Amino acid sequence: MSERLPGYRGLALKMLLEAGADIGDLIRVVKDNVVLEGVLIPRSEYSDDKHIVIKSRSGYNIGVEVTPATKVERVRTELKPLFVPPPPPEQRTGLPKVTILSTGGTIASRVDYRTGAVRPVISASDLYSIVPELSDIAVIDAEILFSIFSEDLTPKNWSAMARAVADHISRGIDGVVVTHGTDTMGYSAAALSFALQKLPVPVVFVGAQRSEDRPSSDAPMNLIGAVYAASSAPFAEVTVAMHETPSDEAIIIHRGTKVRKCHTSRRDAFKTVNSKPLARIVNNKIFILTNNYQPRDLERKIILKPEFDERAALIKFYPGMNPKIIDWYVSEGYRGIVLEGTGLGHVRRECFPAIKGAIDADVIVAMTSQCIWGRVNMNVYSNGRDLLSIGVIPLDDMLAETALVKMMWCLAQSKSIDEAKNLLITNIANEFSDRTVEHFEPPKFSMG
Ligand code: GLU
């Protein structure tokens, strides 16, 4: 795909390049003796390679299917993607200092209505002018780390995020906000929970389910809640701030190792699993929901452990799963496998020889549950007990996604397999919850 002509591929891209056309140019397309003129607008990444989309003078978007006989001409430069933010409000002095690091996703982007271009909105003054309430909460410094859909992020991006956060914290700020695509925000929050130890100040991930140009957008309120938590919360942990309910009642602060995206589109998609959220923010007041947290302490020295070994996999078991799937990971040199087993932590007996083979080849194999809520307990049924005797490590109530991230992190931190195994079962960032605070609160999603 072309950076200059986002979304265009194949014949459509070739014709636009030959015509020297850019997004925002007025172009003329002649097809079957019909002449169409309009401003060239970007296409979505998943569009086909046969259509050119122009915005006509009437304001309608027209998709023209191109064939080798179609003629495309650039008429002139008409409109360029342009966003002029309203003037920022006056900055108050003496407020806490917060850094916003942007990684991509809906939260920190804005659509240019004339051309359809999406541009990141991230300079501090952009943010103040779009969400003026921020200027009453904190003095904000902003930096774009990446502009990547979160499904395209890799563990290398987690390492870069961890390093950037640690760097900003070392400059003496009161908190960090990381804006992020929602799809894999839980993985990144877990990754930074392990990579950033002994945090002196909070690190708050935030995303948006609906983009800022939509009236139902959750972006401004989520961002205000995140900046408020980063600047004023009493805890110094990696967290996620999102809507608690579909309405604009409250922002809920989840712990980075216990949070999961549980709905594709709702504003309250993120839920804390097997634990309690850390806090709720209502009208810029913070209500702490647990006493078990690492308190903010500006004197504490951060410990940065940003490496992840990507040779770890998460395998969701399903009835009839072919054991060769496990063999394949071993033959590819993977060093850790997290199984997402059924119920209390089971897979079919047919898989046992492959699992034993993996463990004999020094691959760490651990078990989580696809039930999501509850703990694995492999002592109840014979299949579980047999897996334990083969050497599978039960991971109690840890989320499968968090377990994968932790496996990658443990493998990168350890010099031996025993050291990695010990680290895997050690509670580092509250990824295991205490049995005495057993907590079951499945998401309350109503229909419609
Ligand atoms: N798939 C996108 C992402 O996770 C969706 C946009 C968003 O959630 O911000 O980055």
Domains in the chain and their CATH numbers?
A: 10-77 (2.30.30.520), 97-304 (3.40.50.1170), 312-424 (3.40.50.40)
Between the CA of 208 and the centroid of ligand 1 the distance, in Å, is 8
d(CA 391, CA 359): 7
192 pLDDT higher than 80: yes
Per the residue annotation, which of 106, 115, 184, 257 is the catalytic one? 106
Per the residue annotation, which of 55, 261, 271, 356 is the catalytic one? 261
**Span 208-231, average pLDDT:** 87
pLDDT digits (tens, 9 = 90+) for 111-151: 555 555 566 666 666 777 778 889 899 999 988 898 888 99
Of residues 62 and 441, the one with the higher pLDDT is: 62
Question: Residue 319 class from Cβ within 10 Å (0-12 exposed, 13-18 middle, 19+ buried)?
Answer: exposed
d(CA 41, CA 24): 6
**Angle formed at CA 374 by CA 196 and CA 342, multiple of 5 degrees:** 105
Residue with tokens 């309910």: 245
The question of whether 415 is a catalytic residue gets the answer: no
**Contact status, residue 249 vs residue 225, Cβ threshold 8 Å:** no
Looking from the CA of residue 185, the nearest atom of ligand 1 is 4
Quick one: which of 211, 222, 182, 6 has its CA closest to 111? Answer: 211
The question of whether 301 is a catalytic residue gets the answer: no
User: Where is average pLDDT lowest: 98-102, 230-234, 405-409, 431-435?
Assistant: 431-435
Between the CA of 213 and the centroid of ligand 1 the distance, in Å, is 15
Between the CA of 217 and the centroid of ligand 1 the distance, in Å, is 14
Out of 149, 184, 223, mutate this one to test ligand 1's pocket (max ligand atoms within 8 Å of CB): namely 149
d(CA 126, CA 225): 18
Per the residue annotation, which of 183, 213, 327, 386 is the catalytic one? 183
**Average pLDDT in the chain:** 90
348 pLDDT higher than 90: yes
Which residues sit with their C-beta closer than 6 Å to ligand 1?
104-107, 149-151, 181-183, 207-208
pLDDT more than 70, % of the chain: 88
108 pLDDT higher than 80: no
448 pLDDT higher than 50: no
Question: Residue 30 class from Cβ within 10 Å (0-12 exposed, 13-18 middle, 19+ buried)?
Answer: middle
pTM of the model: 0.82
CB neighbour list of residue 148: distance below 8 Å, 6 or more residues apart: 103, 104, 157, 181
